[in-house]
Chain A
Amino acid sequence: MIPDAVPAVRLRGVYQAYGSRTVLRNIDLDVASHEVVALIGPSGCGKSTLLRTVNLLEDVVAGSIELNGENITAPKTNKNRVRQQVGLVFQQFNLFPHLTVLENITLAPRRVARKSKVDADRRAMELLERFGLADKADEYPDRLSGGQQQRVAIIRSLATEPTVILLDEVTSALDPETVGEVLALIAELKNLGLTLILATHEMAFARTVADRIVFMHEGEIVEQGPPSQVLDAPTVDRTRRFVDQILSHDVAAVTAQEQL
Chain B
Amino acid sequence: MTMSSHVTASVSRPLSDAELAVILTRKPWWQRRDFLGSSAIAVVSTIVVVGLLGTIAVNSEGWLLFQRAFLNPEHFALSFPKIWEGFLLNVLLFVLIEPIVLIVGLVLALLRNLSSPVFFPLRFFAIAFIDLFRGLPAILVILMLGMGIPALRIEGLSTSPLFWGAVACVLTSSAYTAENYRAGIESIHPSQRAAARALGLGHGQTMWFVILPQAVRRVTPPLMSGFIALQKETALISVIGTMEATRAAQAYSATTFNFTSYLVAALLFVAITIPLTRLTDHLLRRSEIRRTVGGAV
B-contacting residues of A (Cβ < 8 Å)? 52, 55, 57, 80-84, 87-88, 90, 92, 94-98, 107-108, 111-112, 140-143, 156-157, 160
Contact = CB atoms under 8 A, between A and B. Distances in A.
Contacts of A88: 198
Contacts of A108: 199-201
Interface string B166-197: 00000000000000000000000001101111
Interface residues of B, number: 22
13 contacts: A80-B201, A83-B200, A87-B199, A90-B191, A90-B195, A94-B192, A107-B210, A111-B205, A111-B209, A112-B200, A140-B297, A142-B294, A157-B199
A127 to B, nearest CB: 14
9 closest A-B pairs by CB: A94-B195, A142-B294, A97-B296, A108-B199, A83-B200, A88-B198, A80-B200, A140-B296, A112-B200
B214 A107 contact: no
Given A90-B191, A96-B192, A98-B214, A107 B201 contact: yes
Contacts of A55: 198
Contacts of B282: none
B194 A80 contact: no
Contact of B201 (A90, A112, A143): A112
A98 B217 contact: yes
B213 interface: yes
A112 B196 CA distance: 11
Contact of B199 (A81, A97, A107, A143): A107
Contact of A83 (B192, B197, B294): B197
A47 to B, nearest CB: 16
B296 A141 contact: yes
A48 B287 CA distance: 34
Contacts of B202: 80, 112
Interface in B73-107: none
B295 interface: yes
Contacts of B200: 80-84, 108, 112, 160
B213 A98 contact: yes
B195 to A, nearest CB: 4
A9 B194 CA distance: 21
A95 B196 CA distance: 9
A111 B192 CA distance: 16
Contacts of A97: 214, 295-297
A143 B214 CA distance: 17
A84 B214 CA distance: 24
Given A80-B201, A108-B201, A112-B205, A90 B194 contact: yes
Contacts of B195: 90, 94-96
B297 to A, nearest CB: 6
A79 to B, nearest CB: 8
Given A80-B201, A107-B196, A141-B296, 5 more contacts: A82-B200, A84-B199, A87-B198, A94-B194, A142-B293
A83 to B, nearest CB: 4
